[in-house]
Structure 1
Amino acid sequence: MAKISTSDFRNGLNILVDGEIYTIVEFQHVKPGKGPAFVRTKLKGVENEKNIDKTFRSGENVESIRVEHQPYQFLYADGDMFFFMHQETYEQIPLERSRVENEKFVTDGMICTLVIDVDNDNVLYAVPPDQIEAEVIDTDPGVKGDTAQGGSKPATITGGAVVQVPLFISKGENIRVDTRTGDYLERAKSK
């Protein structure tokens, strides 16, 4: 693990704080008129899911955690375990459900990103792609006259997630969804 200064902070950097790994979500260098400068940060726990605010003295050294983002294919879920396979080595990795972000959007065969702590060879968490294409498997039928300007209705997509879609979307249609927010984006283009 490498020591870095607060001047090297950037969003997305993983650091060790009180023995836990946190990702820097936001940071701000503050130079008050009186007293020493400091860095105010918002941190998100990688393993513990806690969100904390922490202030560091300007120039203070912290330990940086090296992580790699590797593509793995989701194979199946068995109870509270999700199983992923590396595309080149065919190595299979089990991961607890709680360490799979937005797991309701993960479907069989999907290529997800596994974030791995390089120093300890430990899988921290898995993330589905930011945008996915999914089939609407259940929703109320559309009615003639429903427009894109109107309201929305709930729709269940493959994988079991429920998203709000425009009234004109029907069962069996493919749509694009943002997995970070759970928002409907658009109808999927025909292939």
Structure 2
Amino acid sequence: MSKVSTSDFRTGMNILIDGEIYSIVDFQHVKPGKGGAFVRTKLKGVVNEKNIEKTFRSGESVESIRVERQPYQFLYSDGDLYFFMHQETYEQIPLERSRVEKSEFVSDGMICTLVVDVDNENILYAEPPDHIDTEVVQTDPGLKGDTAQGGSKPATISGGAVVQVPLFINEGDLIRVDTRTSEYVERVKSD
């Protein structure tokens, strides 16, 4: 960890405030006619995802945190632990289920992103890719003629998540899901 001055702020920089890591979304240097200059910032929590606004005095120092996003392959889960493997070193890392975001979308062999605090060598959390191709494990059969209304039905996918899919989707179909919104995107053509 290193100290940085407010004059060194850049969009995307990660700083430590009250024990939480925040990323600078926007900042503005303000020099009022009266009083000292200050820096107005908009911050987003890296782990807690809170959006806050904070004002710093010009020249004030804060802790800078180096955060990296690294690809890891999900291997398996054992109880509440999820095991990931680094793609180059083959190092295996266990991670608690509470630190795996949207764990219901994570399935064997999937390449996930682990967000790492490089200075402390601490893994903050893991997240699945934005879009995944997955198999429908369970869903009710659709009725012919119901597609005109554009209806939907629940379907359980291989990771265990339940998403709303169009009526023409059947068990065994391969579909693409947006993990950020938990929404069906399209049916994937099998080769």
Q: Indicate the TM-score class for this superposition, using the shorter chain for normalisation.
A: 0.7 to 0.9
Letter in 2 for 1:141: P
Gaps of 5+ in 2: none
Judged with a 3 Å threshold, the aligned counterparts in structure 2 of structure 1 residues 61 and 158 are, in CA distance, closer, same or farther, namely same
Say whether the 8 Å CA contact 2:105–2:161 is kept in structure 1.
Answer: yes
- Residue 189 (structure 1) shift: 2.5
TM alignment of 1:1-191, pairs within 5 A: 1-2=1-2, 3-5=4-6, 8-11=9-12, 13-24=13-24, 26-27=25-26, 29=28, 38-46=39-47, 49=48, 51-57=50-56, 59=58, 60-147=60-147, 150-191=150-191
Give, in whole Å, the separation in 2 of the partners of 1:111 and 1:72.
6
Say whether the 8 Å CA contact 1:71–1:87 is kept in structure 2.
Answer: yes
Return the TM-score normalized by structure 2. Answer: 0.85
- Residue 174 (structure 1) shift: 0.6
Letter in 1 for 2:131: Q
Q: What does the per-residue CA deviation read over 1:8-63, in whole Å, with 9 as the maximum and x for residues that have no partner?
A: 3324x321011222234x435385977655424242252xx262523123644322
Gaps of 5+ in 1: none
Give, in whole Å, the separation in 2 of the partners of 1:129 and 1:157.
15
Q: What does the per-residue CA deviation read over 1:108-167, in whole Å, with 9 as the maximum and x for residues that have no partner?
A: 111111111111111111111110001111111111123275121111000100011111
Return the TM-score normalized by structure 1. Answer: 0.85
- Residue 79 (structure 1) shift: 1.4
Name the count of aligned residue pairs: 187
Give, in whole Å, the separation in 1 of the partners of 2:22 and 2:178.
24
- Residue 67 (structure 1) shift: 1.6
Give, in whole Å, the separation in 1 of the partners of 2:148 and 2:101.
30
Q: CA RMSD in A?
A: 2.4
- Residue 7 (structure 1) shift: 6.1
Say whether the 8 Å CA contact 1:135–1:158 is kept in structure 2.
Answer: yes
- Structure index of larger Rg: 2
